[in-house]
């Protein structure tokens, strides 16, 4: 199976590199910009923290945008969350369906390999891609912190990255399952789903009556401001996310191994 795994990685390493460099690079640029905007940020911090639901939506009620940690959580955190989630959708939405969409399934499945093994190998490639994406981004952000001679809050930092990885895996798992049902390229659906879930999280934070929307959005447990501000995450949400991931993978396996090849 390592050859199919290698083949998958080879097929999408350029996409991985492009997304990681763009998201990580943008994050690092934002961190570096902080030193030039430090005074303006300090002046704005109080007013940003007093904007009620809007402040809460971006976590500015828990962290001061005047500190690098607060600036990272509110600015870079948003870029990383959205960028990482969109990359998760891009890397998994077509990974199973592309064989039928590109008419390559007859070649692939004429080889002595079962559909089940193909499912797990492709999922392995998705996981590797997500892990590498987060490692590269962490590298960029770390370089930004080092350039400003700022220390990194290690415990919060790793918890945040772990939750970001779980967020990516959950969204990738959902898209992976959707890919098992589809015979065509449905990238738009995957990206739409990411934006919808992000919007659900945002609305749940801004509008008190819609607070329950946070239950369905995995962005709720991976919020940078909450994790970096309190050192904790919504454990229930994370557990639910892990459950959704397992269910999505099971669905993908059952559907893909049970369907006829077109």
Partner 1 sequence: MDNQKTVIEISHMTKKYGKHRGVTDLSLTVEQGKVFGFLGPNGAGKSTTIRAMLGFIRFDSGRINLFGKDIRRHREEILAQVGYMPSEAMFYPAMKVREVIQLAAQVRGVDCGEEGEMLCERLQVDTEKKIRELSLGNRKKVSIVCAMQHSPRLFVFDEPTSGLDPLMQSTFFSLVREYVDQGATCMLSTHVLPEVRRYCDHVAIMKEGELQCVKAVTALTNAGARRIKWVRDGKREEFLYDRDLNELHRELAGHDITELLIEEPSLEEAFIEYYRT
Residues at the contact surface with partner 1, assessed by CB under 8 A:
3-4, 7, 11, 102-104, 106-107, 109-114, 260-261
Q: Shortest Cβ distance from residue 29 to partner 1 (Å)?
A: 31
Q: Shortest Cβ distance from residue 83 to partner 1 (Å)?
A: 24
Q: Shortest Cβ distance from residue 70 to partner 1 (Å)?
A: 44
The enclosing H or E element of 187 equals helix 187-206
Question: Which string of DSSP letters, residue by residue, matches 99-130?
Answer: HHHTT-HHHHTTSS--HHHHHHHHHHHHHHHH
Nearer to partner 1 among residue 73 and residue 93 (C-beta): 93
Helix, strand, coil percentages (3-state) for the chain, rounded to 5, are 80, 0, 20
Q: Shortest Cβ distance from residue 71 to partner 1 (Å)?
A: 40
Nearer to partner 1 among residue 149 and residue 262 (C-beta): 262
Nearer to partner 1 among residue 101 and residue 150 (C-beta): 101
Q: Shortest Cβ distance from residue 115 to partner 1 (Å)?
A: 9
Question: Which string of DSSP letters, residue by residue, matches 20-59?
Answer: HHHHHHHHHHHHHHHHHHHHHHHHHHHHHHTSTHHHHHTT
Nearer to partner 1 among residue 19 and residue 198 (C-beta): 19
Token output for 200? 């659900």
Q: What is the torsional sign of CA 100, 103, 104, 109?
A: positive
Provide φ and ψ at 219, rounded to 5°. -65, -20
Q: Shortest Cβ distance from residue 107 to partner 1 (Å)?
A: 6
Which of 73, 57, 58 lies closest to 211 in space, CA to CA?
A: 57
C-alpha count within 13 angstroms, C-beta hemisphere, residue 203: 13
Nearer to partner 1 among residue 109 and residue 145 (C-beta): 109
Q: Shortest Cβ distance from residue 13 to partner 1 (Å)?
A: 12
Nearer to partner 1 among residue 103 and residue 212 (C-beta): 103
**Euclidean distance between the first and the last CA atom of the chain, given in angstroms as a whole number:** 23
Question: Which string of DSSP letters, residue by residue, matches 129-167?
Answer: HHHHHHHHHHHHHHHHHHHTT----HHHHHHHHHHHHHH
Nearer to partner 1 among residue 112 and residue 208 (C-beta): 112
């Amino acid at each position: 199976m390592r050859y199919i795994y290698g083949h998958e990685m080879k097929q999408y390493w350029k996409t991985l590199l492009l997304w990681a460099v763009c998201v990580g690079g943008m994050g690092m640029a934002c961190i570096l910009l902080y030193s030039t905007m430090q005074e303006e940020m300090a002046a704005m911090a109080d007013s940003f923290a007093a904007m009620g639901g809007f402040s809460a939506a971006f976590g500015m009620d828990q962290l001061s945008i005047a500190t690098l940690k607060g600036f990272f959580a509110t600015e870079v955190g948003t870029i990383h969350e959205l960028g990482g989630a969109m990359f998760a959708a891009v890397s998994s939405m077509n990974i199973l369906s592309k064989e039928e969409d590109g008419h390559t399934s007859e070649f692939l499945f004429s080889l002595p390999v079962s559909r089940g093994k193909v499912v797990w190998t492709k999922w392995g490639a998705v996981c590797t891609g997500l892990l590498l994406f987060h490692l590269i981004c962490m590298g960029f952000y770390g370089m930004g912190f080092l350039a400003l001679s700022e220390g990194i809050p290690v415990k919060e930092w790793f918890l945040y990255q772990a939750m970001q990885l779980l967020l990516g895996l959950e969204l990738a798992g959902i898209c992976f399952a959707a890919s098992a049902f589809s015979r065509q390229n449905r990238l738009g659906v995957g990206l739409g789903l990411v934006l919808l879930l992000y919007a659900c999280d945002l609305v749940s934070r801004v509008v008190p009556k819609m607070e329950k929307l946070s239950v369905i959005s995995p962005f709720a447990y991976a919020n940078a401001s909450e994790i970096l501000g309190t050192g904790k995450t919504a454990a229930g949400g994370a557990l639910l996310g892990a459950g959704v991931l397992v269910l999505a993978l099971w669905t993908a396996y059952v559907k893909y191994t049970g369907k006829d090849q077109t």
